Amino acid sequence: MTNCVKRVLWVSLLLTASAAVCMAQAGASLPDDRLAANQQAANLQADNLQARDWFRNAKFGLFIHWGVYSVPAAGEWVMEVRHIPVSEYEKFAPQFNPQAFSAKEIVSLAKSAGMRYITITSKHHDGFAMFATKQTKWNIVDATPYARDPLKELADECHRQGIKLFFYYSQLDWHNPDYWPLGQTGHAAGRPEGGDFNRYLDFMDAQLTELLTGYGEIAGIWFDGMWDKPGAEWRLQRTYALIHKLQPAALVGSNHHQKPIDGEDFQMFEQDLPGENTAGFNQTYISDLPLEMSMTLNGAWGYNKGDKDFKSVPKLIKSLVRAAGANTNLLLNIGPTESGAVIPEFSQRLQEMGAWLQRNGETIYGTRAGPIPLRPWGVTTQKGSVVYLHILDWPDEYLALPFVQGVKGAHLYHGNVPLKLAALDGGLVLKLPKESRDPVDTIVVLER
Ligand code: FHN
């Protein structure tokens, strides 16, 4: 156990103990949600804190958006965007027979990309469960000719190949009639008016229980969709406590685009790094929790056959490096087709990223943000006392840097080539000869 883990554990035990004393003194009984929260604090065990540490070190994960929406192949929002009622949308299920799906190939692909975990949609907003749930027939085993549980196959393969698995779970549901009252979306689904939201939440907890008891060790639950009705009583504390009770090390995160809520173990940002907001999702609050940025490889999450706007490999690598320099994991998305295949435009790019990581992974995995925060020219990462400058975009031969404590010299990461580094008026100037440049990322080690 690291000192940091011990310290956090000690603080959480103290907090839990003092909460218990206060309760005893007050002699009061707490409402269900508070009890659950206290219970959860008590359960914030070393396993969970170690899992957070593992997550911070992992840096790179594969996001998979896959569901019955891959049949119309127009993205995972097709039901909403085309105003398709449930009765019509359900007709995609008999056409969904992904015989080309191979858990082994997908896990191997993630590994060859240098990814340390996979996060896959167990249920997206269309309510369709990609696993063998007993809570509804609206699932891949009961509603499709495929009749297999790809999440079980994936979980087994992840365990076999030593890669962690998170389940994405949409709290928003356009199919379940108990998702009522409606939020901002799902108004064309044609469901009966009325329903019992608490019954929906029971359904959700039951599905989560299935996911956390039938698939071995699960690294975490990635919630999405609460933003559809942010003011609703989501019973979050109860659900989060349930997850931590079933698997204390499972990390809970929610893409609600708000400040993290009690019981969440990591904070996520969509399409932007913490502190950036080009996509319009991100509030700027950045917590001390482990951070993650989800990003599409083209413009779509679920498979969209019309979207050919694939990001280039250099652009993707720069995103990964910038994320590492901002203490943030990159969760990079692919959307398999209705046959379960991963198109070559995705797999080739991932493999090229993996090749880059083979050569440079030491400067990314297990690092933390370095002493110089995000700059237009690039970022710094740090491991122990070693600082890596990642120069991503700088056309000139000289680069001015702020003062970095204890720096004695600099050399190129590849080939150990010494570089000139001069102190100037309390700052530093680094000379980067043209021949030392890498068009994607020139990595320089600051010697201390
Ligand atoms: O609506 C979803 C979208 O389909 C996708 O799943 C992304 C992934 O981060 N999250 C939601 C939008 O915030």
What is the CA angle 181-184-186, rounded to 5?
Answer: 75
Higher per-residue pLDDT: 120 or 22: 120
pLDDT in tens, 52-68: 999 999 999 999 999 99
Tell whether 87 and 120 lie within a shared domain.
yes
Ligand 1 and 223: CB distance under 6 A: no
Tell whether 131 and 227 lie within a shared domain.
yes
Alpha-carbon distance 54 to 62, whole Å? 16
Tell whether 212 and 282 lie within a shared domain.
yes
Global pTM? 0.90
Q: How far is CA 106 from the centre of its chain?
A: 17
Tell whether 362 and 383 lie within a shared domain.
no
Tell whether 210 and 348 lie within a shared domain.
yes
User: Can you name the residues that pair with 12 across neighbouring β-strands?
Assistant: none
For the range 210-215, what are the long-range contacts, defined as Cβ-Cβ under 8 Å and sequence gap of 24 or more? 210/131, 210/132, 210/133, 210/134, 210/135, 211/122, 211/131, 211/151, 211/167, 211/169, 212/243, 212/246, 212/247, 212/250, 213/246, 214/132, 214/152, 215/131, 215/151, 215/152, 215/155, 215/165, 215/167
Tell whether 165 and 314 lie within a shared domain.
yes
Atom of ligand 1 nearest to the CA of 168: 6
User: Can you name the residues that pair with 444 across neighbouring β-strands?
Assistant: 389, 412
Kindly state the tokens that stand for 104. Answer: 């082994």
pLDDT in tens, 169-186: 999 999 999 999 999 999
**Domain housing 414:** 378-447
Confidence of residue 41 (pLDDT cuts 50, 70, 90): low
Kindly state the tokens that stand for 240. Answer: 């989060």
Atom of ligand 1 nearest to the CA of 65: 6
Atom 1 of ligand 1: nearest residue by CA position:
225
Tell whether 362 and 406 lie within a shared domain.
no
User: Can you name the residues that pair with 445 across neighbouring β-strands?
Assistant: 388, 411
Number of domains the chain contains: 2
Ligand 1 and 255: CB distance under 6 A: yes
Tell whether 342 and 396 lie within a shared domain.
no
Atom 6 of ligand 1: nearest residue by CA position:
301
Atom 5 of ligand 1: nearest residue by CA position:
301
Alpha-carbon distance 168 to 307, whole Å? 23
pLDDT in tens, 425-446: 999 999 999 999 999 999 999 9
Domain boundary among 344, 366, 388: 366
Confidence of residue 281 (pLDDT cuts 50, 70, 90): confident
Q: Residue 328's pLDDT is what?
A: 98
- Mean pLDDT score of the chain, rounded to an integer? 91
Pocket test for ligand 1, best of 224, 228, 266, 332 (most atoms within 8 A of CB): 224
pLDDT in tens, 156-168: 999 999 999 999 9
Atom 3 of ligand 1: nearest residue by CA position:
301
Q: Residue 9's pLDDT is what?
A: 36
Ligand 1 and 294: CB distance under 6 A: yes
pLDDT in tens, 219-244: 999 999 999 999 999 999 999 999 99
Kindly state the tokens that stand for 399. Answer: 């680069």
Q: Residue 44's pLDDT is what?
A: 65
For 90, 98, 127, 145, 216, the CA distances from 140, given in Å and listed in that order, are: 12, 10, 11, 8, 20
Cα 224 to ligand 1 centroid, rounded to whole Å: 7
